[in-house]
Structure 1
Amino acid sequence: MSRNIIAILRGITPPEVEAHAQAVIDAGITIIEVPLNSPQPFDSIARLLARFAGQALIGAGTVLSVAEVERLAGLGARLVVSPNCDPAVIAATRAASMQSLPGVMTPTECFSALAAGATGLKLFPASLIGPAGLAAMKAVLPKDTPLYAVGGAGADNFDAWIRAGASGFGIGTALYRPGQSPEDTASAARKIVAAYDAALQ
């Protein structure tokens, strides 16, 4: 079963990244991002691509520049996630045939991102938009637009977000915090997947 959950491994280090990625993949989460404000993020992403490219969609988060997009493309990454809406970053991502999920918070940013070629939208911070805000924006956005709620969406409110029109979620600290064990990550991932699956019923 394919689930629209992005595992955000912010703060992960290269020596530990494979064990934590294996934990989330085993739990059923097959989209993984390493934010670029993590230690040696490109090394971590290279390790993930070498081991899990056939099992998961792997890329980077907190991507803020075209140069970073180009470096990710050179590694073979397939996903670029940003906290903001930068048309140049989006265009470079699409030119490299990678999926683009820019951060948006207003209808203007949503439409700017889509016009630049974004393949989906990251509602961030979702806690400030809320399900009601998403529902209002959903009414005017193209109906097939993938919408990921990130920052304030989680196991306790997946159902409300899905009813409002969310297509998926990005999960950070509820899944991984720097220094925790792979076993803790596995346990958290299983709980998130169970809550997500229940919300879809």
Structure 2
Amino acid sequence: MTDFLTALRARRLVAIVRGSDPEASFRTVMTLAECSVPLVEVSLSGTGALGVLRRARAELGADAWLGAGTVLTADDARAAADAGANLMVTPGLGAGVDEALRLGLPVLAGVLTPTDVIAGAAAGATALKVFPASAVGGPAYLKALRGPFPGLPFVPVGGVDAPAAEAYLAAGATAVGVGSPLIGDAADGGDLGALRERAARFVEVCG
């Protein structure tokens, strides 16, 4: 758990891969790793996500941070762990969070309201994913949320482009989670060269 928080604070960027093409999703994960984006989440709502996780784990080795996203249920958490995920990311609180923690894995748990934050912290979430961040006021909301919870690690997710990432980090976010503004169409078979350019921009902003 501590190791994940250390990596999160150092890199300040979690890439979110959700694709319709398993081969393209796998290539996207590997390209992100090559571009110094070492914290990658593969959403279970993407096509063939468990297979992507297995292949990526085999290539990246045991020590890489490779997360499973959209973990909703205890079965999701167990299946993702079996596929090689060593980080669980959820859109909200519930059985997926509880089972991941039971398995001894770090959890980036979805929260939105102060009540969610209290519940997530009490459950033992490693860090708190503010989702969907863009729908509730963006960086200003994060700044307000940090007032009563100054010591908790928040990771805004949802509509985070490069300028927003910079603003969230300035407002006190521990890191940001970025999907389509970073991944684009790469996980659907799109241009990996363009992905590399976007990754370089986000690494610069979050570095």
TM-score normalised by length of structure 1: 0.89
Q: How many percent identity over aligned positions?
A: 32
Q: Secondary structure at the match of 2:41?
A: strand
1:147 to 154, 172, 193: 154
2:70 pairs with 1:70: no
Query: Which residue in the other structure is 2:50 paired with?
Result: 42
Structure 1, gaps ≥5 residues long: none
Number of equivalences: 195
2:102 to 45, 70, 95: 95
Matched letter for residue 177 of structure 2: G
Instruction: State the distance in 2 between where 1:78 and 1:50 align.
Output: 13
Matched letter for residue 188 of structure 1: R
1:96-115 Cα offsets, whole Å, 9 max, x none, are 12111121110100111111
Query: Which residue in the other structure is 1:10 paired with?
Result: 18
2:135 to 113, 128, 146: 128
Measured on the aligned residues, the alpha-carbon RMSD in Å equals 1.7
Q: Which moved more, 1:66-75 or 1:8-17?
A: 8-17
Kindly state the Cα deviation for residue 75 of structure 1 after the two structures are TM-superposed: 2.4
Kindly state the Cα deviation for residue 19 of structure 1 after the two structures are TM-superposed: 2.4
Runs of 4 or more consecutive aligned structure 1 residues displaced over 6 Å after TM superposition = none
Matched letter for residue 14 of structure 1: P
Matched letter for residue 74 of structure 1: D
Q: Is the 8 Å Cα contact of residues 12 and 34 (structure 1) preserved in structure 2?
A: no
Query: Which residue in the other structure is 1:181 paired with?
Result: 191
Q: Is the 8 Å Cα contact of residues 19 and 25 (structure 2) preserved in structure 1?
A: no
Q: Which moved more, 1:1-10 or 1:31-40?
A: 1-10
Q: Is the 8 Å Cα contact of residues 49 and 76 (structure 1) preserved in structure 2?
A: yes
Query: Which residue in the other structure is 1:25 paired with?
Result: 33
Matched letter for residue 43 of structure 2: P
Instruction: State the distance in 1 between where 2:121 and 2:88 align.
Output: 15
Instruction: State the distance in 2 between where 1:132 and 1:98 align.
Output: 31
Q: Secondary structure at the match of 1:175?
A: helix
2:200 pairs with 1:190: yes
Choose between structure 1 and 2: higher helix proportion. 2
Instruction: State the distance in 1 between where 2:51 and 2:30 align.
Output: 17
Instruction: State the distance in 1 between where 2:167 and 2:200 align.
Output: 20
Instruction: State the distance in 1 between where 2:166 and 2:199 align.
Output: 17
